[in-house]
Amino acid sequence: MKNFIKKNNLDFWNINKKTVFKNLLTFLFLFTFLIAMDQIFKSIFFQVGERPFTGNRVIAFQWGIFGIYSLENEGLTSSIPLDSTGIQILSFFFLIPLSIAIIFSKNSFLTTSSILLFSGTLGNLMDRLIFGGKVKDIFFVGSINNGIFNFADIYVVVGSIFLLLLILWVGIFKDWVIKIISKKKYND
């Protein structure tokens, strides 16, 4: 296990200050940009309905299966239902390991995926704290009943895909590719 961690630059505790500083700068720049983009787009496109903390539920724009629509969402990405308090607690505890991964990672792919996950989680958590336990969803693909999301949701999905790819690369494909390359060099 120790060799696996060192070999794949996942050893968080043996890290130099330059790496921590670089990761913090990357985090501050990307996080600020991503949160600003999420909140600015929500401010521009989300139209408040008649009651507080609701969207006006009118399609503002539609192009094929993609559109802009103001909907308050109490669940998770794509309107997956879950209790708001549980989501807030889960989000808070999810941010702690992400913070550690961002600061101490020697692997830039892990840092980037963690920043995306952190930004998406915090963007939606901010909405839940400010918007009465609800998230402002503004985009839809397909049906407005279950394909609705915001930029923070995109960050979470893309960050999760990056993390899955990293896990697959480190755990499976990296050794496989190295074996193929070394066999080819040996045969040449």
For 148-179, the pLDDT digits (tens) are 889 999 999 999 999 899 888 877 777 776 77
Contact assessment for residue 129 and residue 48, using Cβ atoms and an 8 Å cutoff = no
| 46-90 per-position pLDDT tens digit | 877 766 666 667 777 788 888 888 888 776 654 555 566 666 677
Comparing 134 with 87, the larger pLDDT belongs to 134
Query: Quick one: how far is CA 65 from the chain centroid?
Result: 23
pLDDT, averaged across the chain: 79
How does DSSP classify residue 183? H
Mean pLDDT, residues 102-110 taken together: 84
Q: Where are the domains of the chain?
A: 2-181
186: pLDDT strictly greater than 70: no
Contact assessment for residue 47 and residue 60, using Cβ atoms and an 8 Å cutoff = yes
What CA–CA distance (Å, rounded) separates 4 from 105? Answer: 15
What CA–CA distance (Å, rounded) separates 87 from 98? Answer: 16
| 4-21 per-position pLDDT tens digit | 555 555 555 566 788 888
Selection from 35-39, 77-81, 108-112, 177-181 with the highest mean pLDDT: 35-39
Query: Residue ranges of the alpha helices (H) in the chain?
Result: 2-7, 17-45, 84-104, 108-130, 151-168, 174-187
Which two tokens mark 110?
């892990």
List, as one string, the DSSP characters of 141-182. Answer: ES-TTT-EE-HHHHHHHHHHHHHHHHHHIIIIIHHHHHHHHH
Long-range contacts of 172-181 (CB under 8 A, 24+ apart): 174/8
